[in-house]
Amino acid sequence: MAISAKDVMELRKQTDCGMMECKKALTQADGDFAKAIEILREQGLATATKKAGRIAAEGMVYAVSYPNCAVVVEVNAETDFVAKNDKFVEFTKNLADVIAESNPADVDALMGCKMGEGTVDDALKALILVIKENIKVRRFARYEGHCAAYVHGGGTHGVIVKFDTSDEVAAKEGFAAFGKDIAMQVAAANPSYLNEAAVPASVIDKEKEIILAQMANDPKTANKPDAIKEKMAIGKLGKFYKENCLVDQAFIKDGNMDVNKYVAATAKELGGDIKIVEYTHFIKGEGLEKRNEDFAAEVAAAIKG
């Protein structure tokens, strides 16, 4: 099948591989992106793909913790200028308050919640009339209990984290700073899973398959017995966990310990038990990429050349 320059550009952005390698992989995979990425990884040319494509949509993400819950919400707009508009920022922050108080089931339910003298939908339409851009409430998450929140880059990243701990521990000096540290860890390292148990078996199987394929393509390991390769693959999965599981990642503020050890040390210091239950990380415009047509033309020219 014909492979377009845009498809090559997209695969290049996701894998950081060369244009010709991306074109060959897409051709071999009959245009299947997931299969093309596997091919590149098996050849040792690409690292594991991230959960989302490059960020290009505008607007902002806002995260905030309250005494009994935490909320993260994303509101999109057409230009980055809008994200700096006071009325847009005020609407987004007020929206978080509505979510915290009303606990809507989804975005559709949120639009019917009370905001000011009317509903969220009314307030959104009024904001669109003032700003004169299309504005959309894209998504939100809400946790109840002892939580932390973190906003990075003026709204490019928003994280909320829920903890299982006692009221006494949560009230102690130091817990809030600890919670923010964990939320910042998520924003900085962008883990895909909370822990090893959260990784689906299908993901582990696929990762082992890719590792074994890499060994088969490596002269140093290609001729080793299958049993040895299997043991080596299991060992290499440890690196996968350290990169993709929050509690196994190196702690951003102290590379000599992982997040699990930081949690344990904080729990001991505060005199109780602390467990990370779950987290949500929103990245502004995640999956809503605007294509750069000039770059697409550049790729097309390179392919034809």
Residue-wise pLDDT for 64-123, tens only, equals 999 999 999 999 988 888 888 999 999 999 999 999 999 999 999 999 999 999 999 999
Highest average pLDDT, of 49-58, 110-119, 199-208, 209-218, comes from 110-119
Per-residue confidence band for 293, with pLDDT thresholds at 50, 70 and 90: very low
Q: Contact, 80 vs 290, CB < 8 A?
A: no
Angstrom CA distances, 50 to 55, 94, 162, stand at 12, 31, 23
pTM of the predicted structure, to 2 decimals: 0.74
- Closest listed residue to residue 36, CA positions, set 55, 51, 14: 14
Question: What CA–CA distance (Å, rounded) separates 72 from 68?
Answer: 14
The rounded distance, in Å, linking the Cα atoms of 289 and 273 is 41
Evaluate if residue 255 carries a pLDDT over 80: yes
User: How does residue 280 score in pLDDT terms, banded at 50, 70 and 90?
Assistant: very high
pLDDT computed for residue 171 by the predictor? 96
Paired tokens of 66? 């309250």
Max CA-CA distance within the chain? 73
pLDDT in tens, 153-192: 889 999 999 999 999 999 999 999 999 999 999 999 999 9
Which segment of 134-138, 178-182, 195-199, 299-303 scores lowest on mean pLDDT? 299-303
